[in-house]
């Protein structure tokens, strides 16, 4: 069938398919579970491994990155929230579906209000358009009188290399525009944006695990169109991630323990700054959405 639900233990999978692609999505967290091309059968998406990184492509909401001491203050109250927010660990409801498209939704409830005192609706749309997976986020503020303060991001991981006999070091990263970027450096789990480093991306970068000894390589993209391409140079296959209006794009792999995957992460937000004071109203990278307003975000994944 072109469009089916498959129960994996207690996990419900949604399958989308067209002539070029077969994609699976987990209702838990609306997380991509598989991306395959019809012509070669290659699994492009990291499949998760408890020994390294057990996730695959989590949605980051309502925070991107870590908060100092996993907490923040808002309205004279302290709230506790772990890295990357809670959306990735909560079930999304399917509200629209076709053989090649699905829209899923999560919204606030009594449990989310314990960690995040705002009303919200988060819709995620996955659509297969020829040979691409188009992914859109729609954030709505249903409150009639309170702003919604949030960040959002994506964290898809890709198998690199794409064959069982290859090596991580045969992976190349190239970007467009191919130019010099400010790289935001992480100090532990927190960003040190006051002291960026320059990274020259005019040529492709050959990856090795030691490049991630300071965690992610974070490109400051300043709201432009940014494309990241991962290539397994031996298999001559890979993925192209097109991002639109992002503030940052992170490229990450596990370190010092290592595993054969690379994440390309469009971010509309960032981890706490090293000098963060814990006040949500001062937090770097947060978006403020007025009552009854909507924000839209978009990126795409093209396996080749």
pLDDT digits (tens, 9 = 90+) for 44-88: 999 999 999 999 999 999 999 999 999 999 999 999 999 999 999
What structural domains does the chain harbor? 13-303 (2.70.98.10)
Looking at the predicted structure, is the pLDDT value of residue 36 above 50? yes
pLDDT digits (tens, 9 = 90+) for 112-149: 999 999 999 999 999 999 999 999 999 999 999 999 99
Residue with token string 């992976």: 171
Residue with token string 């988060």: 122
Looking at the predicted structure, is the pLDDT value of residue 1 above 80? no
Residue with token string 């009188």: 145
Please state, for a pLDDT cut of 70, what percent of the chain lies above it: 96
Rounded Cα distance between 213 and 248, Å, is 19
pLDDT digits (tens, 9 = 90+) for 17-27: 999 999 999 99
Taking the mean position of all CA atoms in its chain, how far away is CA 18?
24
Please state, for a pLDDT cut of 90, what percent of the chain lies above it: 93
Backbone phi, psi, residue 294, to 5°? -135, 140
């Amino acid at each position: 069938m072109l469009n089916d639900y498959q129960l994996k233990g207690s996990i419900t999978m949604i399958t989308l398919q067209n002539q070029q692609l077969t994609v699976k999505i987990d209702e838990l967290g609306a997380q991509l579970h598989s991306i395959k091309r019809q012509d070669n059968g290659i699994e492009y998406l990291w499949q998760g491994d408890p020994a390294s990184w057990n996730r695959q492509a989590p949605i980051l909401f309502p925070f991107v990155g870590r908060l100092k001491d996993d907490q923040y203050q808002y309205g004279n109250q302290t709230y506790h929230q772990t890295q990357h927010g809670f959306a990735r660990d909560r079930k999304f409801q399917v509200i629209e579906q076709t053989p090649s498209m699905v829209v899923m939704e999560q919204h606030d409830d009594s449990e989310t209000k314990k960690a995040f005192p705002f009303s919200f609706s988060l819709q995620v749309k996955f659509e297969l358009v020829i040979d691409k997976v188009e992914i859109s986020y729609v954030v709505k503020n249903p409150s009639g009188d309170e702003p919604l303060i949030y960040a959002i991001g994506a964290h898809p991981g890709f198998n690199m290399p794409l064959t069982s006999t290859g090596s991580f070091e045969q992976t190349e990263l190239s970007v467009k525009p191919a130019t010099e970027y400010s790289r935001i450096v992480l100090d532990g789990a927190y960003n040190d944006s006051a002291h960026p480093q320059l990274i020259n991306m005019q040529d492709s970068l050959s990856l090795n695990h030691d490049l991630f000894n300071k965690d992610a390589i974070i490109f400051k993209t300043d709201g432009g169109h940014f494309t990241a391409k991962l290539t397994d140079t031996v298999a001559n296959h890979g993925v192209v991630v097109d991002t639109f209006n992002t503030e940052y794009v992170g490229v990450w792999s596990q370190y010092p323990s290592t595993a054969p995957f690379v994440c390309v992460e469009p971010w509309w937000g960032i981890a706490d700054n090293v000098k963060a004071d814990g006040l949500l109203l001062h937090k770097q990278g947060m978006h403020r959405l007025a009552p009854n307003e909507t924000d839209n975000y978009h990126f795409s994944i093209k396996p080749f």
